[in-house]
Chains A and B, each alone.
Chain A
Amino acid sequence: MRRLACAGLAVLAAIVMVLALPARPARAHPLGNFSVNQAVRLDLYPDRIAVTAIVDLAELPTLQARSAVDTDGDGRVSAAESVAYNTQVCRAMARAVALRVDGHRVQWSVRPAGFGYRPGSAGLRTSQASCALGAAAHLTSPARLDLVDSYQADRVGWREITAAGHGVHLVHPPVPARSVSHSLRSYPADLLGSPLDQRSARLRAEPGNGPGAGAAIQLNRGDPVSRWVAAADRKLEGLVGGRLTPLVGVLGVVLALMLGAAHAALPGHGKTVMAAYIAGRSGRPRDAFTVGAIVTLTHTGGVLVLGLLLTATTSLAGEVVLGWLGIASGVLVAAVGAAMLAGVLRRRARVHGYYRPPAHDHDHDHDHRHSHGHSHHHHGHPHPHPSGRPRRLSLAGMGIAGGLVPSPSALIVLLGAIGLGRTAFGVLLVVAYGAGMAATLTAAGLLLVRVRDRWASHPRRALARLAALAPAGTAALVLCVGLGLAGRAALGVLH
């Protein structure tokens, strides 16, 4: 109980400080002159639960509440009137803020924690009332908490809920631990912002001293390459919106090429696996170019189709479509990997059956190396291939998988161009973007082919053997990466 009192005092002190801050220049309530705004902060301790609720009334509700505050009607708000009104608000708040711990509704102790006015617009005032609600609780074992705030539910306004654990761990809390509005003191103000409208939260609490931090928002990705790419993205988007001179056009195309190349090089798209595929599977330089061309075509087509779809209908959410395409791409990669693996195993079985009597280990090794050297010298192919059709199919599959998921930045550039009535320029940029991607992939493929060839013809046996193992290894790798990509995309879609 004493701790509760201490916490209450601390809250009170904080509120007094808030209200004692120098008055800002008077301006309209950022959320509208009719709004009733609320912030409910939940603090969970092993033995108790504390709620700090703040109600921020804009100009007109403040005026409407005046007769409830100034009860003696003398035109002034005395300290006693202020406390009485604060208590009244907090009692209503305690009735309206329902917290259930494992289904049992918590009975709040109510403490008014401050009431004050601030200058608003048109010579009117806004007002803030704060309340500290508290209750004993046993959060020493896992518990489910359901919070519903129905205070003045029919009024327009900002409503936020935050939750933090102290000696209590919150498992994946759906609400943040810190207020984005700094407890209704500064509302994020931009033309693209809508007020927050969080009226309920379901929390899982566990004993333990987890950070209890809620969904953290990560804005900047760390490494310099990503940052450079992001900056270049913005530059390109800016170019699309600016005046279109020939120089700007050329610059845009060059930038799109570079961006495409950079995006293909960034990890996480599973595109690099294709380069490995080319190397492990067949390794003709021509194949690298084929895959590159298919990637460009697929990517350009995909971006165009999706871009037009997204422009045509606002009911389509871009992220969801990207997620499903991600799944499709992963499944395609996995299928190619599985086909490769099956091919390798089949071939190996054939090789075994034909050349090698079961007991002689030595022969196998020899045969294998021999076949390698043989084909390499005569055809420039490291491996004999199964029939050409499935190989070409899987090459195409790889290319399609690589280009299927449109790069968000290419999509944005296209949408921007469409929005500005410069569709042709946007299409050109997207083509350049795909070409850039293809360039990176082809280059990586060629590089690996080179490296592998060198290894295969290496005088030292170990490296040559490693190269010999490449087909099975790559097939397995492609399969795993495909499954991983599909799984990750599925998690994103189903979440």
Chain B
Amino acid sequence: MRHRILIVGLAVILVAGVSAVFGLRHGTSPNASAAQAPGTRARAGQAPDGQLSEGIARAQQHLRAVPGDYVTWAALGSAYIERARVTADPAYYPKAGGALRHSLKLRPTGNPAALTGLGALANARHKFATARHLAHRALRADPYSADAYGVLADALTQLGNAPAATEAVQHMLDLRPGLAAYARASYDLEQHGRLGAAAALMRRALGDAVDPADIAFCRYQLGELAWRAGRLDAAATQYAAGQAADPGYLPLLAGQGRVAAARGQTRTALAGYAELTARYPSPGYLMEYANLLRATGHPARAGQQLALAAAALRLFRANGGTDDLGAAQLALAQGDVRPAVRAAEREWSRRHFADVADTLGWALHRSGANGKAISYARKADALGARNPGYLFHLGMIELSLGRSSDARHHLRAALALNRHFSPLDAPAAVAALDRLGA
């Protein structure tokens, strides 16, 4: 009899652990990394979500009664990371770290949930090498943890190890096919320029989504993929559908702002960005807003937004994050070329991700080192991402090096993908092509 109770108890623990770790909003959600980088699968920005808050409150209450429950401590830590991403508020990261470390203190060995959570936290803080290490440790403790593979995939993607990242995503898909795995697989395909397949997977993820916030997330990603391909109407439709599902999902405002700007509805676009950055002042969105302000003839207001972006980055660092990629992009936007090169080089020494190569190449080009710049610009496009931004940078560098036909080819390709890809860069590409007499 006692034996049977024990077996039932163990089964219950297993179920409880699984539901606590994975149930709290898919534990680590689609993209644990890239809390700031635009254009990635970060789920960010909606107002505090009811279900998540409820889960957090329940976990807190439970832990007040049972302070030794390391599984719930780990789940709470992961929920805090999710909260940090949802509110875009880095101050939740120290709290998440505290909860996860406490879990690990209570149970130093055989605690994959805490290691996975710490890995997700490291990803969120852009400490991708640490995240990879933690994910490996978690997988040694539990080789069947889909969440640990998710953390590993995010870290490897951002570190620029694309083949290994693809493999980790495949493991995750095999272990637990679902929204989180589909979204990561979709991002992986997008990195390789396979936008159609990426959209197909995202639609599968949408079919899996039940929660309004998850539906909004999938719709946003589908909108982004349509936008990447220059299909404004399709993108607008997806964003609107996302907004209908969850009006609080803020990244939709950015998507709608981009579409409005592309359609020449400047006032609407600026109002959308103003609302977005008031509620969710992430460095990435602040820089996007600044770009749009500059492109529409408001340099002073653009400067204010860049100052805010600088403050947001400082806070990100003060809360234990590292983001030299963001720092480099900000320095470029502010015209500080030398610091931009240094920051981009620091980031490149840490990870060989396409975005980093692209930014480093562009910073070198701006500093006049076009010979070095072109190798990085090519690395950025190595996976065949067909990102209009990368192609524009490559074309402009080639132009500076006097390789007119290559430049013409790449600038045309960028505009062919999406002739509105950036409010500042798209017109620059057109002007350059005009000068080339194309």
Per-residue interface assignment for chain A, residues 34 to 54, with 1 indicating a CB less than 8 Å from any chain B CB and 0 otherwise: 110000000000000000000
For residues 120 through 140 of chain A, which have their beta carbon under 8 Å from a beta carbon of chain B?
121-124
What is the 8 Å Cβ interface bit string for chain A, positions 313-335, against chain B (1 contact, 0 not)? 11000100000000000000000
Does chain A have a CB within 8 A of B372? no
Least Cβ–Cβ distance between B98 and chain A, in angstroms: 5
Q: Which residue of B lies closest to A412 (CB)?
A: B65
- Given A32-B92, A33-B90, A156-B89, are A423 and B9 also a contact pair (CB < 8 Å)? yes
Contacts A314-B55, A416-B69 given; indicate if A34 touches B314 (C-beta within 8 A): no
Which of the 9-residue segments B56-64, B260-268, B340-348 touches chain A? B56-64
Q: How far is the CA of A385 from the CA of B95 in the complex (A)?
A: 65
Q: How many Å lie between the Cα of A174 and that of B162 in the bound state? A: 56
Write out the residue numbers on chain A whose beta carbons fall within 8 Å of the beta carbon of B56.
194
Q: Is A421 an interface residue (CB 8 A)?
A: yes
A241 to B279, alpha carbons, bound, how many Å? 42
Are B89 and A241 in contact, CB atoms less than 8 angstroms apart?
no
Cβ proximity bits A1-34 to B, threshold 8 Å, 1 near / 0 not: 0000000000000000000000000001111111
Segment touching B, from A277-285, A304-312, A338-346: A304-312
Q: How far is the CA of A63 from the CA of B311 in the complex (A)?
A: 8
| Residues of chain A with a CB closer than 8 A to B23's CB | 314
Closest chain-B Cβ to A48's Cβ sits at a distance in Å of: 35
The verdict on B317 contacting chain A, using a C-beta distance below 8 Å, is yes
Residue A240 is within 8 A (CB to CB) of chain B in the complex: yes
Residue of A at shortest CB range from B63? A192
Q: Which residue of B lies closest to A73 (CB)?
A: B300
Contact A29 B69 (CB under 8 A): no
In the bound complex, how far is the Cα of B10 from the Cα of A314, in angstroms? 17
Minimum CB distance partner of B69 in chain A: A419
Chain A residues whose CB sits within 8 angstroms of the CB of B62 once the complex forms:
314, 415
**Whole-angstrom CA separation of A412 from B10 in the bound complex:** 17
Name which residue of chain B comes closest to A315, CB basis.
B58
Q: Is A427 an interface residue (CB 8 A)?
A: yes
User: Any chain A CB within 8 A of the CB of B383?
Assistant: no
A167-201 CB contact bits vs B (8 Å, 1 = yes)? 00000000000000000000000011110000000
- B311 contacts A60, CB within 8 Å? yes
Q: Which residues of B contact A123 (CB under 8 A)?
A: 314
**In angstroms, how far is the closest chain A Cβ from the Cβ of B40?**
20
| A124 and B99 contacting across the interface, CB-CB below 8 Å | no
Residues of A within 8 A of B91 (CB): 28-35, 58
In the complex, B13 has a CB within 8 A of chain A: yes
CB contacts (< 8 Å) of B67 on chain A: these are: 237, 241, 416
The complex places the Cα of A155 from the Cα of B89 at a distance, in Å, of 11
- In the assembled complex, the Cα of A34 lies from the Cα of B86 at a distance in Å of 12
Q: A311–B69 Cα gap in the complex (Å)? A: 10
Determine whether the beta carbon of A308 is less than 8 Å from that of B9.
Answer: yes
The 3 closest A-B pairs by CB, nearest first: A419-B69, A32-B91, A241-B68
> What are 30 A-B contacts with C-beta separation under 8 Å?
A28-B91, A34-B280, A35-B91, A58-B91, A60-B281, A60-B308, A64-B308, A121-B318, A124-B314, A124-B315, A154-B47, A154-B279, A156-B47, A192-B64, A193-B60, A240-B68, A304-B5, A314-B19, A408-B65, A415-B65, A415-B66, A415-B69, A416-B66, A416-B69, A418-B16, A420-B106, A421-B13, A423-B10, A424-B6, A427-B9
A interface residues with partner B (beta carbon < 8 Å): 28-35, 58-60, 63-64, 67, 121-124, 154-156, 191-194, 237, 240-241, 304, 308, 311-314, 318, 408, 412, 415-416, 418-421, 423-424, 427
New A-B contacts (8) at CB < 8 Å, excluding given A122-B317, A155-B279, A156-B47: A28-B318, A34-B89, A60-B311, A60-B312, A60-B315, A311-B16, A312-B15, A416-B66
